[in-house]
Amino acid sequence: MSKKKKAEKKLKEEPKADDEETLTPEETAEAEIPKEPSPEETAEAEIPKELSPEERLEEKELEIAELKNEMLRLRADTENIRRRLNKEKLDSIQYSNEKLIKEVIPIFDNLERALAAADANPDSLKQGVEMISKQFLALLQKEKVKPIPALGEKFDPNIHEVLSQIESDEHEENTVIEEYSRGYFLNDRVLIPARVVTSKKPAPHPDDEPKEEAEATA
């Protein structure tokens, strides 16, 4: 057989590309859809793996370490809050009168000016003191401070402090007849009680005894 005939025979024996097996579109789609696991396979996958004693111990140690760290953080936060509150409290005590002091300083400056000018002009001292008195009164009123009524008032132990008593037939008993130092309210609370002298009934004189009592004695 010639070489040409052998080549033709070989070509006839080789399978053609058109003879290969082909898939329909439906078969191709079915092949591409992933297969869902069966209920048995799903149940097996959901069953947690049982830990060994060593693994459980390690897990608990990690939990304990996390709790300790959290406790330390909370303790540090609490300590920081406590320190901040203590500092704020100390500052509020140390500087609670800051506003009042700022208002008093100018009044004190005016007093020093009045004293410095007293030698050159004595009248200026009186004027300076009067001005300072008005400034103090304005400051007290601004701070809701007002004087406690005293002279001519009935003695009130809640707002008056008795220094002494003087016999008087011109006043009712326990009437304030002298004011040693003025008292003040702060809003409605007694800031300083008024220090006063009150009246009392005069002691009976021997010459004023009733006649009946004298006759009975005789």
- Name the domain count of the chain: 2
Q: What average pLDDT does the chain have?
A: 79
Q: 95 and 121: one domain? A: yes
Q: What is the pLDDT of residue 157?
A: 94
Q: Which residue in this structure is represented by tokens 């540090």?
A: 76
> Which of 127, 143, 159 is where one domain is finished?
143
> Which of 93, 121, 143 is where one domain is finished?
143
Cα distance between residue 39 and residue 64, in whole Å: 38
- Domain residues for 167? 145-203
Residue 175 DSSP one-character state: B
The CB-side HSE value for 100 (13 A sphere, CA atoms) comes to: 11
Q: At what angle do helices 98-118 and 122-142 cross, to 10 degrees?
A: 170
User: What is the pLDDT confidence band of residue 22, given thresholds at 50, 70 and 90?
Assistant: low
Q: What is the pLDDT of residue 9?
A: 57
> Which of 101, 124, 143 is where one domain is finished?
143
Q: 135 and 178: one domain? A: no
- Number of Cβ within 10 Å of residue 148's Cβ equals 20
Asked if residue 28 is part of any domain, the answer here is: no
Q: What is the pLDDT of residue 27?
A: 60
Q: How far is CA 89 from the centre of its chain?
A: 9
Cα distance between residue 45 and residue 35, in whole Å: 16
Give yes or no for residue 17 having a pLDDT over 50: no
Above pLDDT 90, what percent of the chain?
32
Asked if residue 17 is part of any domain, the answer here is: no
Q: 151 and 116: one domain? A: no
Asked if residue 51 is part of any domain, the answer here is: no
Bigger pLDDT: 107 or 28? Answer: 107
Cα distance between residue 148 and residue 181, in whole Å: 10
Cα distance between residue 25 and residue 55, in whole Å: 52
Q: 139 and 149: one domain? A: no
